[in-house]
Amino acid sequence: NELSAILRFGAEELFKEDRNDEENKRNLENMDIDEILERAEK
């Protein structure tokens, strides 16, 4: 779904700030939309 892809891309951009990109990508795959949005608001 297009909205899901957009949100996932935005969330991935948040994780790029961190050092350990591979671990963050795995964490992102396990997060639900509420966790992603909560992190984006910080």
Q: Indicate yes or no: pTM above 0.85.
A: no
Phi, psi of 23 (to 5 degrees): -65, -40
* 3-class DSSP assignment, residue 28: helix
CA distance 27 to 21: 10
pLDDT reported for residue 15: 65
Summarize the confidence of residues 30-40 as an average pLDDT.
81
Nearest to 28 by CA among 3, 2, 18: 18
pLDDT reported for residue 20: 67
More confident residue, 32 or 20: 32
Q: Mean pLDDT in the chain?
A: 75
Beta-carbon-side half-sphere exposure of residue 23 (alpha carbons within 13 Å):
4
More confident residue, 19 or 41: 41
